[in-house]
Amino acid sequence: MAKLKKVFCANCKKPIYRSTGRINENIKFEWNSYCSKKCLSQSRTKKILLVCENCSRCFQRIPSKISPHNYCSKSCATIVNNTKNPNKKAKFKTCIKCGKQFKKSTGNLKYCSIKCRGGRKPKYTSQNLTDIIGQKAKELQRVPTRREMERIGNSCKRVFGSWNNAVIATGLKPNRSHNQRMYKCAKIKAIDGHLCDSVSEAIIDNWLIKNKIAHKINVSYPKTRYTADWVISINGQKVFIEYFGLANDSPRYDRTIRKKKAFCRKHKLALIEIYPQDIYPKKNLNNRLKNKFKNFIGTTTKIL
């Protein structure tokens, strides 16, 4: 068994016993001995009182951060370094706008800030933007979308307020959105109290009431997520009614129309299609709708 010798913990001064080999190793590498990991951790984080070499101010620092020359702040270290190296003094220039001294950097700067320079110079002017949009429209043979003109999209928003305003300023008609409804739903109450999504639907709903055609609004097609604007029932048979107010105005809307018509054909469902030209101008409303509902006027219908 190796002979143990008594040494003292460098942190708490508690006596501990170590082998001769370990003691010699500590002496060789100038290591301290500690009785536990706790004392080792405390010794590493224990702050030591030092004096700043520039302003003589007292401050504390952990042992691992102590260097040959210690300063209480970066300012004191900079002062000493500039004193020792006078050739490295910062060079300053005078702003020709406000007369303020500012540190010289790379480039031939004459102003201390963007404000003194008169603001950031815009990359594009309004004339540049309209010329670019017009040129792109000639290439595509249509109005370009904002995604196709990402390079100038932000500039258009900054100069004109929006992309559509920039298109209008070019003399073109803006594209409508294909991913969203182009018109916001305005809930209009019909005579019977039904809340319709537009004035046009309310006109149709009121016409059904005046012609004594019982109906129900917003009814789902069988086993599908699509809904019809109205449905009527005669002799136990459902007849779906749709007002396609945005036909030929959006590819997304037109796809929905085709899917609804295909679904009705597949499941042999009766469908009455109404378009804007059927109700406008209003002088033609009565004749056109009577022609579409000729099999139901004067016939008893039921609300499902």
pLDDT recorded at residue 120: 60
Using CB atoms within 10 Å of the CB of residue 230, give its burial: 0 to 12 exposed, 13 to 18 middle, 19+ buried.
buried
Which residue, among 302, 303, 297, has the nearest Cα to 208 in the 3D structure? Answer: 297
CATH 3.40.960.10 domain position(s) in the chain: 188-292
Q: How far apart are alpha carbons 15 and 6 in whole angstroms?
A: 6
The alpha carbon dihedral of 67, 72, 74, 80 has a sign of: negative
pLDDT of residue 275: 92
Question: Amino acid letter at 206?
Answer: N
Torsion angle of the four alpha carbons 106, 111, 112, 115, in this order, in degrees rounded to the nearest 10: -130
Instruction: Report pLDDT for 241.
Output: 94
| 3-state SS record for the chain | CCCEEEEECCCCCCEEEEEHHHHHHHHHHCCCCCCCHHHHHHHHHCCEEEECCCCCCEEEECHHHCCCCCCCCHHHHHHHHHHHCHHHCCCEEECCCCCCEEECCCCCCCCCCHHHHCCCCCCCCHHHHHHHHHHHHHHHCCCCCCHHHHHHHHHHHHHHCCHHHHHHHHCCCCCCCCCCCCCCCCCEECCCCCEECCHHHHHHHHHHHHCCCCCEEEEECCCCCCEEEEEEEECCEEEEEEECCCCCCCHHHHHHHHHHHHHHHHCCCEEEEECHHHHCCHHHHHHHHHHHCCCCCCCCCECC
Look at residue 225 in the predicted model and tell me its pLDDT: 87
Give the torsion sign (CA, 189, 194, 197, 203): negative
The answer to whether the CB of 60 falls within 8 A of the CB of 48 is yes
Q: How many CA atoms lie within 13 A of 140 on its CB side?
A: 12
**Which distant-in-sequence residues (6+ apart) come within 8 Å of 267 by Cβ?**
222
pLDDT for res 299: 60
Strand 195-196 versus strand 188-189 pairing type:
antiparallel
By CB neighbour count within 10 A (0-12 exposed, 13-18 middle, 19+ buried), where does 268 fall?
exposed
Q: How many CB atoms lie within 10 A of CB 234?
A: 16
Q: Are strands 58-61 and 92-94 parallel, antiparallel or unpaired?
A: unpaired
**Architecture of the domain delimited by 188-292:** 3-Layer(aba) Sandwich (3.40)
Q: What is the CA radius of gyration of the chain?
A: 42
Question: For the chain, which residues score pLDDT lower than 50?
Answer: 106, 179-183
